[in-house]
Structure 1
Amino acid sequence: MRSVVNYQTDLLRTFVSVVDLGAFTKAGDALGRTQPAISLQMKRLEELVGAPIIKQVGRSLLLTSEGEMLLSYAREILRLNDEAASYFNRSKIAGVLRVGLPNDYAVAFLQGVITEYTREHPGISLELYCGWSGEILDRLRADELDLAVAMTDHERAQYLSRSWIERPVWAAAETAVFDPAIGVPLAAHPEGCAYRARMIQALDTARIRWRVAYTGPGISGLQNAVMNGLGVSALTRYTMLPGMRVLDPAEGFPPLAEIRVGLFYKHPRLSDAGIRLVNHIVARLDEAGISSDPGRGKVELQHQ
């Protein structure tokens, strides 16, 4: 019979806690264990892997390539384990969930997915924070959010659980006509927005003149500007509205670069309600056919 190596969930939970919380002592506090106990568990896990998963460089700890790979598996194993535990423990789900969403998702697909979940669990109080992706991830690091959806330039980022690709499209009012040969008026979010950057990059590369005809932080204002014919904008399929149309290369508009969006959370900080919400989001992404991949966290940890 083939020998099977079993990666115990308590060892994987310790590993993910060390990565997400950034220190052995913080992981121990979260799990109710001493630092020596955490160190022993990490050593046992390395024995099972057959290779180091964390190495010390100066005063910092870094994940090895084996550690990065293990982290992606560990997050998925723990998510499924906790989903099963939550299913068979049918206690009432209640509490406060603080969720961060990028501005462009505030009225789109994921907001609907999250509010759907809270309707199914009326004991949950939902607090939504909408802002720029950088601000959202800063709030997650500071434990001001329980989980976040944010745009990222990296396939390997701290706290990243799942990521998927969005391909923005050029959006215009159905009856509006724009001629790139004489310049393009843009409806855009303020500087720092990934969609704005991709519009400008695409037009500059194609040597098409542009000007910002409307700027504002909210997605609804952007949509209204497009609908009223003030300019064109970069939107996703979830933020296109009736009365809008997609501008294609045949009309002189160059393709827009893709955007990577991720689901981020600190596993040891999540309540049962949070774990269930993560699983609900993942299930809806799969149902919608949004391709996703486990995130691999290449992060620097502070040994304390």
Structure 2
Amino acid sequence: MSHPSIDSELLRSFVAIADHGSFTRAANIVNRTQSAVSMQMKRLEEDVLKRPLFEREGRGVQLTAEGQLLLGYARRILKLQGEVFTSLRQPHMVGAVRIGTPDDYVMRFLPGILARFSQAYPLVQVEVHCEPSYQLLQRQDLDLSIVTRQPGDEIGQLLRQERFVWAQARGQDLYERNPLPLAMFSAGCFCRAWACNALDASERPYRIAYSSPSLSALMAVVSAGLAITAQLESIITPDLEILGNRHGLPELPATSIVLVRNPASQSPVTETLAEQIVEGFRL
């Protein structure tokens, strides 16, 4: 029994809607008009799958049970398709590429991305530089930079948006301390400024008990129960618990993770790695 095929562009638009919760934002991601994306989804729901994939909620949308099922398949199909094209079109690429990233993302995202890239292109040398976002944006010698930006102040290509959250070691009550002991990145990091500004606005006393440019150092301090930190939700490890309003802590803004390409150093090697970074942050 034959089945109708699903156009990869339909799946790409579908995944963008699922990731961003809006037809409008998804249209910007896939470089189409909102009406074009709406027509794509109508075709996918009514003509191809004959199943409802979305539940409309005001200006946003949520996936139905069928939509959630399709999302897993869609991600796998697009990932495999990307690997096929990158592996077969340029199987013998050589050269070097320099990436800049805060070490927030080195532990969480880069291992899988670099492992897949190395397997497909073993002759390409990848050089990784770990620095805070504000320092990376000042450098001119990097091919690709993964940086954190405030929503509305994005540059380059949006990789994902995440909550910025408070966290402490499980079983601790550090949020009851006065002043609140914090473990934060060194001065100059706008994430540190966000946390301090939020505490100032809520008139919550605090002190910077530990400061370091190294995420692993900060997380070691927090895991030891010595201080509270504020970090991206995706890098909070299982031994930590997320804190919030019920603990008397102010809500923090969301952050945007973006990929910045250096226009002076673009090449097939650089662009191929950029594509894999984009895909890796969506997984």
Same structural fold, with TM-score higher than 0.5 when normalized by the shorter chain: yes
Residues 174 and 245 in structure 1, CA contact (< 8 A), matched pair in contact too: yes
For 1:226, the equivalent position in structure 2 comes to 222
Name the CA distance, whole Å, in 2 between partners of 1:168 and 1:205.
17
Read off the aligned partner of 2:234 and give its amino acid letter.
Y
Instruction: Could you list the structure 1 runs, at least 4 aligned residues long, displaced by more than 6 angstroms after superposition.
Output: 82-85
Distance apart, 1:276 and its partner CA: 1.3
- State whether residues 162 and 264 of structure 1, in contact with CA within 8 Å, keep that contact through their aligned partners in structure 2: no
Does the 8 A contact of 2:109 with 2:280 survive in 1? no
**Structure 1 residue 135 corresponds to structure 2 residue 154:** no
Matches within 5 A, 1:112-261: 112-139=112-139, 142=140, 144-153=141-150, 155=152, 160-180=156-176, 182-261=178-257
Contact 1:105 1:111 in 2 (8 A): no
Matched residues in 2 for 1:177 and 1:116: separation? 41
Identity, in percent, stands at 27
**1:60 corresponds to:** none
> Paired residue for 2:108?
108
Contact 1:100–1:145 (CA under 8 A) maintained in structure 2: yes
1:259 alignment partner, SS class: strand
Q: Which residue identity does 1:130 align to in structure 2?
A: C
Paired with 1:153 and 1:235, the residues of 2 have a C-alpha distance of 14
**C-alpha spacing 1:269/1:204, structure 2 compared with 1 (3 Å):** same
Report which of the two structures shows the higher radius of gyration computed on alpha carbons.
Answer: 1
1:106 aligns to what SS in structure 2? helix
Moved more, 162-171 or 149-158: 149-158
Larger relative contact order (C-alpha < 8 A, sep ≥ 6)? 1
Q: Distance in 2 between matches of 1:285 and 1:273?
A: 19
Instruction: Look up the SS of the partner of 1:167 in the other structure.
Output: strand
In structure 2, distance between residues paired with 1:120 and 1:185: 46
SS at match of 2:174: coil
* Cα deviation, residue 119, structure 1: 3.5
Deviation at 1:176, TM superposition (A): 1.1
| Deviation of 1:268 (Å) | 6.3
Structure 2 CA distance for aligned equivalents of residues 89 and 283 of structure 1: 18
CA distance, structure 1, for counterparts of residue 171 and residue 179 of structure 2? 18
Kept after mapping to 2: 8 A contact 1:94/1:124: yes
Residue range with higher mean Cα deviation, 122-131 or 91-100:
91-100
- Change in CA separation of 1:224 and 1:181 when aligned onto 2, cut-off 3 Å: closer
The answer to whether the 8 A contact 1:109-1:238 is kept is no
SS at match of 1:107: helix
Separation of aligned partners in 1, 2:100 and 2:143: 8
Identify if the C-alpha distance between structure 1 residues 194 and 104 changes in structure 2 by more than 3 Å, giving closer, same or farther. farther
Matched residues in 2 for 1:244 and 1:157: separation? 29
> 1:182 & 1:155 partners in 2: Cα distance?
34
Task: State the partner residue of 1:98.
Answer: 98
Sort the Cα spacing of 1:216 and 1:126 in 2 relative to 1 into closer, same or farther, 3 A.
same
Shift of 1:185: 0.4
Are 1:282 and 2:245 an aligned pair?
no
Q: Deviations over 1:20-51 (max 9, x none)?
A: xxxxxxxxxxxxxxxxxxxxxxxxxxxxxxxx
RMSD over aligned CA atoms reads 3.0
Q: What's the offset of the Cα at 1:99?
A: 0.3
Describe the shift of the 1:285–1:137 C-alpha distance in structure 2 as closer, same or farther (beyond 3 A).
same
Q: Is the 8 A contact 1:161 1:262 kept in 2?
A: yes
- Secondary structure, aligned partner of 2:125: strand
Q: Which moved more, 1:100-109 or 1:122-131?
A: 100-109
Q: CA contact under 8 A between 1:169 and 1:246: conserved in structure 2?
A: yes
- Per the TM alignment, residue 221 of structure 1 is displaced from its structure 2 partner at its CA by 0.4
Match of 1:271 in 2: 267
1:178–1:184: 8 Å Cα contact kept in structure 2?
Answer: yes
TM-score (norm 1): 0.61
The CA deviation at 1:122 is 1.3
Q: Quick one: structure 1 residues 112 and 237, their matched pair in 2 at CA, closer, same or farther if it must change by over 3 Å?
A: farther
Q: Secondary structure at the match of 1:128?
A: strand
Question: Residues 89, 106 of structure 1: CA spacing in aligned structure 2 closer, same or farther, 3 A cutoff?
Answer: closer
* Deviation of 1:204 (Å): 1.0
Gaps of 5+ in 1: 1-69, 75-81, 289-304
